[in-house]
Structure 1
Amino acid sequence: MARTKEFDPDIVLQRALELFWERGYEATSMSDLVEHLGIAKASIYATFGSKQDFYAKALQRYLDTTDPKIMTELSQPGPVLPAVRALVHRYVTEASHDQQHRGCMVVNSAVELAARDGGVARLVEASWAFLETTLAAALTRAQAQGELPENAEPRELARFLLVFFQGVRVLGRAPNNAARLQDAARVAVSVLG
């Protein structure tokens, strides 16, 4: 007779995400996961697979909860550039007020694992491609509405903003960068006109 799980996999995955996000992949041992989650190692393996599989599932959960928010913010009817500017300021505010200095799980994964883990690299690239495409679509709409000049290049602007956002997340990992981030935000907003 099969045993019933004594834990909610969704809650456990969220708690694992938080631990991986705080510590990173390498600094989180299976023992840390067992202790933090309060479930047996065998249950982790049976439900989530290896530590590497578990990390990928946690990263996917992070993407599932963060990427759609950006799409929603940038696809509202009406003027587009105020929403893009608000996104620039939101990234900077979040990075400046990140008391734990944990940054963005996508950026952390890119730095720590993407070069040697194809699965993580694909998730990171998918997130970046989604952000770039979402920004390019919004900026194309802004151009069509007369908010950007006809000679503007929405795809290039989107790539610039993608790189800007990832840089903001990196600097957010270290303390005392609020002034740098604010100055960079002013330049990013000025590029949009």
Structure 2
Amino acid sequence: MARPREFDTEVAVDQAMHLFWEHGYHATPMPRLTARLGIGTGSLYAAFGSKDGLYARALERYCDGLAAALDRDVQLGPDIRTALHGLLMAMVDADAADPERGCLLVSATTERSAHEGTIERVKTAMTEVETVLTAVLRVARERGELRGEQRPEELARFLTTFIQGIRVMGQARVGREFLESAVAGALKALD
């Protein structure tokens, strides 16, 4: 008869997500995982199948609600330019406060580009971000906030790409002045 699980798997996934986010997949060996989670290797394997299984759940946790949070954040300004500026500068501030943490999607993509499941999850998350941005940019177009001829879909793809780029540059510690200038340049795409 199997022993009942003596730990909360949802708490373990959350803790693992933060570890992978801080250190990456490869720099998070099993002993570090089991120590942080307060469980044995056998318990980790019984609950998640493998380190890969736990990573997949942690990445899923990170992605859960990502598009909804973006949608909420981009609605905070009185117009699309103000909302996007606030959103992008919040990313700059987060990276300045903790440049080593960066973005789990960026590290997942660069560190696990050969792992099909990881790449598919990242692509799904990026599609969700693009969908949210397209929707708010369509509304902005209808309200007359976009003056150029750009299509909302093209702007959304540009901004989705820019968001990931700004996260990489934040981790590269290029400095606030550089990132503020980059944000100003990106927002000119709305003209």
Please name the residue that 2:82 is paired with: 82
Instruction: Report 1:43-192 matches (<5 A).
Output: 43-75=43-75, 79-99=79-99, 101-113=100-112, 115-149=113-147, 151-192=149-190
What is the CA distance between 1:151 and its match in structure 2?
A: 2.1
Equivalent-residue separation in structure 2 for 1:78 and 1:171 (angstroms): 28
TM-score w.r.t. the length of structure 1 is 0.91
- What are the Cα deviations for residues 41-62 of structure 1, in whole angstroms up to 9, with x where unaligned? 1111111111111101100001
The code of the aligned residue for 2:134 comes to A
Of stretches 68-77 and 18-27 in structure 1, the one that deviates more from structure 2 is 68-77
What displacement does 1:63 show? Answer: 0.7
Superposition RMSD in Å: 1.9
Once the two structures are superposed, residues 9-33 of structure 1 have per-residue CA deviations (whole angstroms, 9 ceiling, x without a partner) of 1111111111111111111111211
TM-score by length of 2: 0.91
Go from structure 1 to structure 2 and tell me whether the alpha carbon gap of 1:181 and 1:70 turns closer, same or farther (over 3 Å shift). same
Distance in 2, Cα, partners of 1:65 & 1:22: 20
- Would you say how many aligned residue pairs link Structure 1 and Structure 2? 191
Question: Hey, what's the Cα distance between the residues in 2 that align with 1:40 and 1:30?
Answer: 10
- Following the alignment from structure 2 to structure 1, what is the Cα–Cα distance between the partners of residues 134 and 59? 24
**Distance (whole Å) between structure 2 residues aligned to residue 126 and residue 24 of structure 1:** 20
**Aligned partner of 2:119: which letter?**
A
Cα distance in 1, alignment partners of residues 122 and 7 from structure 2: 29
Amino acid at match of 1:64: D
Alignment partners' CA distance in 2, 1:178 and 1:80: 22
Corresponding residue of 1:17: 17
> What percentage of residue pairs aligned between the two structures are identical?
38
Q: Output the CA distance in 2 between the equivalents of 1:80 and 1:170.
A: 24
Q: Is the 8 A contact 1:22 1:102 kept in 2?
A: yes
Contact 2:67/2:125 (CA < 8 Å) preserved in 1?
A: yes
Shift of 1:77: 9.6
> Mind listing any 5+ residue stretches in structure 2 that lack a counterpart?
none
Give ranges in structure 1 of 5+ residues lacking alignment: none
Please, which moves more after superposition, 155-164 or 76-85?
Answer: 76-85
Q: What SS does the aligned partner of 1:58 have?
A: helix
Whole-angstrom CA distance in 2 between matches of 1:150 and 1:12: 48
